[in-house]
A and B are shown apart, each in its own frame.
Chain A
Amino acid sequence: MKVGVLALQGAFARHLKVLDGLGASGVEVRTPGELASVDALVMPGGESTTISMLLDSSGLRRPISERLSSGLPVLGTCAGMILLAARVTDGRSDQRSFGAIDLDVQRNGYGRQVDSFEAQLAVAGLDEPFHGVFIRAPVVERIGEDVEVLAWVDGSPVLCRQGTVVVAAFHPEMSNDDRIHGCFLDWAFAV
């Protein structure tokens, strides 16, 4: 099974490292051709405005949207969560998201970089806490009925799942801990 990592901008190399450690075959995705060959996709952290612009210029926006509609499993972290949300508040007026998961997010909802933080998270399904790294992270403002919340910070959802769409407000690729990527692969490729 081939897992693509959207490599337009941001922390994509870290995700590839984690995927390699799990024995998944990870590939960088910058073109529609590269997208066509993958069985699952990771949308990394980075600047969502930059990635959004590059989604248009690379010609990836439409094929990603089509693959998502037909059930492509996807893991979105931070900027990736923003791009997969149904609605984005406090973004740019021209920013568009894929609406792959039924939740709304506020960009940089936790504040600026001086407010970025680390926190221990209790994650549903994991025995031990997961160390979450939040960088200018988005805040989830609304969740739909079909969205399962797997972890919370101070009353806000920070890890959510709807079928094979998984989104995190934090950066599991930054914690030297592959359990969240492992769960994603299990859900993505469950028989």
Chain B
Amino acid sequence: MTESNRATGTQLVKRGLAEMLKGGVIMDVVDPEQAKIAEDAGASAVMALERVPADIRRDGGVARMSDPEMIEGIKEAVTIPVMAKARIGHFAEAQILQALGVDYVDESEVLTPADEAHHIDKWAFTVPFVCGATNLGEALRRISEGACMIRSKGEAGTGNIVEAVRHLRSIIGDIGKITQAESAELFDWAKRLQAPLPLVQEVADTGELPVPMFCAGGIATPADASLVMQLGAQAVFVGSGIFKSDDPAPRARAIVEATTNFADPSALAKVSRGLGEAMPGIELGSLETRLADRGW
């Protein structure tokens, strides 16, 4: 079959997959069994990684890209998109993930950074990238490097939603302010945000990020998912929140239902019942390492 006039790896097809994931839940999984549970529960994608963030926190040491064999196993186990994480700035890990055929690469602060000044040049890849951000400037810098999806960082592995809320409110609040700014003020906005002026102008025109914005870091309950969706997230990532809870399958399913019906409190009340214990949370003040501080 001739593959006439097909263009792959374009911004439109990269951002397009992010569009398709909207309104869904992307779940962290560490083996094919968990991936099956996630898919059965209605996950719209899975994130393949060796340890969930809560365990990375507990174990310490350097956290790296997962073993390709494990990623292959997860790809075999499910039909939904499979994402995987590379270290910040570690373009060789990202090249390997692309060669493995993963559907999205997460250049993630949850892993130990490989470069303290540079993120990956994401324009150089066919596979799309998602990156974390704590504020609008960070989000726009990642987009200028070629990220096709932004996730607010939150504080991974804590089961505490407070940082995710802080980051979402910061990003969405600044977008609101920029849309109200005069065009002459946008130069100063670009300077203060340390972000490219054309992207700041685009945000001012459209009132939204140029790419989809999802939420991650600390989501542990259906109510958490509803909260961040109501604040303006377009989909959610759940890391430790599912497989560190008492009974992962029903909780996973409840969070999927809550993400769809985020604006319907009676539906949320129904799905929140009888889920057992959520993952034990961590108070932010007691943290030794703030993962959200990683990224430049």
Which residues does A use to contact B, with CB under 8 Å?
7-14, 30, 45-47, 49-50, 53-54, 57-58, 78-79, 90-92, 107-108, 112-120, 133-136, 153-155, 171, 174
Complex-state Cα separation, A9 to B9, whole angstroms = 24
| Most chain B CB neighbours (cut-off 10 Å) among A78, A118, A174 | A118
Say yes or no for B69: interface residue by CB 8 A criterion: no
Complex-state Cα separation, A7 to B261, whole angstroms = 10
Q: Contacts A116-B16, A155-B1; is A136 near B8 (CB within 8 Å)? A: no
The reply to whether B16 and A50 contact each other, CB–CB distance below 8 Å, is no
Which residues does B use to contact A, with CB under 8 Å?
1-10, 12-13, 16-17, 19-24, 39, 41-45, 79-81, 98, 101-104, 126-128, 253, 256-257, 259-261, 264
Complex-state Cα separation, A13 to B4, whole angstroms = 31
The reply to whether B42 and A49 contact each other, CB–CB distance below 8 Å, is yes
Complex-state Cα separation, A78 to B21, whole angstroms = 13
Complex-state Cα separation, A42 to B8, whole angstroms = 27
Q: Show 20 A/B contacts (Cβ-Cβ < 8 Å), sorted by A.
A: A9-B44, A10-B20, A11-B19, A30-B261, A47-B44, A47-B81, A50-B44, A54-B257, A78-B20, A91-B79, A113-B104, A113-B128, A114-B101, A117-B6, A117-B7, A118-B7, A119-B5, A135-B13, A154-B3, A171-B19
A156 (CB) vs chain B CBs: closest residue: B1
Complex-state Cα separation, A50 to B23, whole angstroms = 10
Complex-state Cα separation, A113 to B17, whole angstroms = 8
The reply to whether A54 and B260 contact each other, CB–CB distance below 8 Å, is yes
Task: Give the Cβ gap from A9 to chain B, nearest Cβ, in Å.
Answer: 4
Additional A-B contact list (19), CB under 8 Å, known A112-B102, A113-B17: A7-B23, A8-B23, A9-B259, A10-B23, A11-B19, A46-B21, A49-B39, A50-B24, A50-B42, A50-B44, A54-B257, A92-B79, A113-B102, A117-B6, A118-B13, A119-B4, A133-B13, A153-B4, A155-B1
The reply to whether A136 and B103 contact each other, CB–CB distance below 8 Å, is yes
Question: B20's contact among A45, A119, A155, by CB below 8 Å, is which?
Answer: A45
Top-6 shortest CB links A-B: A113-B103, A117-B6, A47-B44, A116-B13, A53-B42, A9-B23
Give chain A residues whose Cβ lies under 8 Å from the Cβ of B19: 10-11, 14, 45, 135, 171, 174
A114 (CB) vs chain B CBs: closest residue: B126
The reply to whether A57 and B80 contact each other, CB–CB distance below 8 Å, is no
Give chain B residues whose Cβ lies under 8 Å from the Cβ of A135: 13, 16-17, 19-20
Q: Contacts A57-B257, A119-B7; is A47 near B21 (CB within 8 Å)? A: yes
Complex-state Cα separation, A116 to B17, whole angstroms = 9
Complex-state Cα separation, A119 to B79, whole angstroms = 24
Task: Give the Cβ gap from A73 to chain B, nearest Cβ, in Å.
Answer: 23
A7 (CB) vs chain B CBs: closest residue: B23
Give chain B residues whose Cβ lies under 8 Å from the Cβ of A45: 19-20
The reply to whether B22 and A133 contact each other, CB–CB distance below 8 Å, is no
The reply to whether A13 and B22 contact each other, CB–CB distance below 8 Å, is yes
Give chain A residues whose Cβ lies under 8 Å from the Cβ of B20: 10-11, 45-47, 78-79, 135-136
The reply to whether A50 and B256 contact each other, CB–CB distance below 8 Å, is yes
Complex-state Cα separation, A74 to B244, whole angstroms = 41
Complex-state Cα separation, A90 to B22, whole angstroms = 23
Q: Contacts A47-B24, A53-B256; is A108 near B79 (CB within 8 Å)? A: yes
B19 (CB) vs chain A CBs: closest residue: A11
Give chain B residues whose Cβ lies under 8 Å from the Cβ of A155: 1
The reply to whether A46 and B23 contact each other, CB–CB distance below 8 Å, is yes
Task: Give the Cβ gap from B1 to chain A, nearest Cβ, in Å.
Answer: 5
Q: Contacts A45-B20, A78-B20; is A9 near B260 (CB within 8 Å)? A: yes
Give chain A residues whose Cβ lies under 8 Å from the Cβ of B13: 113, 116-118, 133-135
Give chain A residues whose Cβ lies under 8 Å from the Cβ of B126: 114
Q: Contacts A47-B80, A53-B42; is A118 near B12 (CB within 8 Å)? A: yes
| Most chain B CB neighbours (cut-off 10 Å) among A7, A113, A135 | A113
Give chain A residues whose Cβ lies under 8 Å from the Cβ of B81: 47, 112-113, 136
Give chain B residues whose Cβ lies under 8 Å from the Cβ of A53: 41-42, 253, 256
B6 (CB) vs chain A CBs: closest residue: A117
| Most chain B CB neighbours (cut-off 10 Å) among A58, A114, A117, A153 | A114
Complex-state Cα separation, A79 to B19, whole angstroms = 13
Question: B1's contact among A57, A78, A108, A154, by CB below 8 Å, is which?
Answer: A154
